[in-house]
Amino acid sequence: MKAAVVKKGGGLGVIDVEIPKPGEGEIVVKMTACGICGTDLEKIKSGTETPPILGHEVVGIVEEIGRGVKDLQPGLRVFVHHHISCGKCWYCYTGSETMCPLFKETNIYPGGFSEYFLVPRINVERGSVHILPERISWIRGTFIEPLATVIRGLSKSTYKPGYSAAVIGSGPMGLLFIMLLRSMGASEITAIDLSKTRCSAATTLGADSCVHPESIDDLRKHDIAILS
């Protein structure tokens, strides 16, 4: 199969790698779409080679299941979360699952930027594979992971419906914050960005205004400020 790999010194190349075979409790998914995260771009530009095959905002079709897999069948449309926590350690009990020691050890293999990828048994058993309804397109499905990140971030803040908010940065994550804040009853949303194009997107998607960083009077007039 083909996979996009980070090249030494920066950039992406395409290589041939073996299609993974599922072991007991594992599944193999055929990738249909994979988002490009800001962290992916950083690694691609810098030439960071670990792991060489990136991609984690991924959706696809179950291609093959290993022995013992009961709730998933070939042909299902799925969204796959790339990591899973143990659910038992101090970090998990205190709501910091991303700090769980198991989290970084449970990645999909070889990565979302490949035609097929394997989902480890523990990921399958702990619910990292979710059926993607037909009404959600493949492209929209790639936003599940970043949107979940935004929801989690806002849930850990002091935000309450009716608050005003300043969102610093109107890239993909900032725009998701703006849409989420609007849907959760923010009284006023001010987007802050250098780019006129991104400012236009921000106001289209729910911000009341978008200003250049040099034009912002005082962030303290808002109930909450979000650095996206």
Q: What is the pLDDT of residues 54-106, one digit of tens each?
A: 999 999 999 999 999 999 999 999 999 999 999 999 999 999 998 999 988 89
CATH superfamily of 2-142: Medium-chain alcohol dehydrogenases, catalytic domain (3.90.180.10)
Angstrom CA distances, 106 to 84, 160, 193, 207, 215, stand at: 6, 34, 36, 37, 44
Q: Comparing 46-60, 135-149, 198-212, which segment has the lowest mean pLDDT?
A: 46-60
CA atoms within a 13 Å half-sphere pointing along the CA-CB vector of 221 = 7
Residue 161 is predicted with a pLDDT of: 96
Domain boundaries, the chain: 2-142, 149-227
Would you say 121 and 48 are in contact if contact means Cβ atoms under 8 Å apart?
no
pLDDT tens across 120-169, in order?
999 999 999 999 999 999 999 999 999 999 999 999 999 999 999 999 99
What pLDDT is recorded for position 8? Answer: 85
CA distance 152 to 178: 14
Residue with token string 């929801």: 151
First to last CA, the chain: 35
Report helix, strand or coil for 39: helix
**Check: CATH 3.40.50.720 for 149-227?**
yes
pTM here is: 0.90
